[in-house]
Amino acid sequence: MKRSVASVGCGMIVTVVVATSARLIHGQAPAQTPSGAPGIQMMDPRRDTGQTVAPVFEGWEPNPDGTVSMYFGYMNRNWKEELDIPIGPNNSFDPAPIDRGQPTHFLPRRGKQIFAVVVPKAFKQTITWTLTIRGNTERIPASLKPEQQIDVSKDTQNGNTPPQVELFRTLEGTVGQPVTLTARVTDDGLPKMRTDRRAVNTLTDGRPDGATPNTPAALNVRWSKYRGPGTVTFGSRTTLVKDGVATTTAVFSEPGTYMVNVLADDGSMLLTSQGQNVPGFACCWTSTFVTVTVMK
């Protein structure tokens, strides 16, 4: 097993580019008020299942070694349904290689700055991520435009920096048997830890009224399937960091190679939420991965 330190953090965002499809969305006629004048037609966009996913280009940032990281995420429009799109014509980058480390498993709602594509400093090309599902194709172009540069290393408003994560990068397991996942996490102590019971209960997989799965609270790690042929069942999908350690178990339904996303958040991911489970600013959390080889 190889042990290493995660290197992908997230900071203040300047510009976010979201893919749009070619389909037109037709609205309803305005509702009528009692006086007969047009009123505001309220529409609930929430759909638990049956929706599509859009790729997102978050922006880019230069690295200390002279390369550049281009950050991507996605918007799964479902509120409950998780989607799978294998690498291939329906989940690809252009120009080649079509596989640039993107997810094949998409959690509900917004996955922000989940992975990065590293390119040379003088990179002049535009790369395009394409996702197709349920007959809907969406593409997002990405390039090193100056207005899309972001700061992933520090929140310039309060000095907050992303957590640092150390973990075993490769593990082995057996179908149906729990695999222990452990992350060692250190942080700068910002923002101040919340002790709100509702938030803490949410982070231990409770669902009190008014709370969401991503309610910000103390330093925590969220575990999720990123790639793989079968389902992954976690002992706890979100665990608080205690004494510098976060641990959970994962059970894999089929043999094959899986990637598990390990997202360490200091509590700020939704502290400045845009609403509807969409994160606001881009600091401070760290997204990294564990590869698990599962045998029969």
- 123/143 Cα distance (integer angstroms): 8
Domain 153-295: give its CATH code. 2.60.40.10
Instruction: Specify the higher pLDDT residue, 165 or 194.
Output: 165
Q: Which of 58-67, 101-110, 175-184, 217-226 has the lowest mean pLDDT?
A: 217-226
Domain ranges of the chain: 17-22+46-148, 153-295
- 68/79 Cα distance (integer angstroms): 33
Q: What is the pLDDT of residue 88?
A: 98
Q: Residue range 151-156: average pLDDT?
A: 80
- 224/33 Cα distance (integer angstroms): 47
Q: Residue 217's pLDDT band (boundaries 50, 70, 90)?
A: low
Q: Is the pLDDT of residue 2 over 50?
A: no
Q: Residue range 14-35: average pLDDT?
A: 43
Percent of the chain with pLDDT over 70: 72
pTM attached to this predicted model: 0.78
How remote is the C-alpha of 59 from its chain's centroid?
A: 14
Q: What is the pLDDT of residue 268?
A: 73
- 108/78 Cα distance (integer angstroms): 5
- 202/198 Cα distance (integer angstroms): 6
- Residue 146, φ and ψ in degrees, nearest 5: -55, -35
Where does 63-101 show beta strands of DSSP type E?
68-76, 83-84, 91-94
pLDDT, one tens digit per residue, over 278-296 is: 454 667 889 999 999 999 9
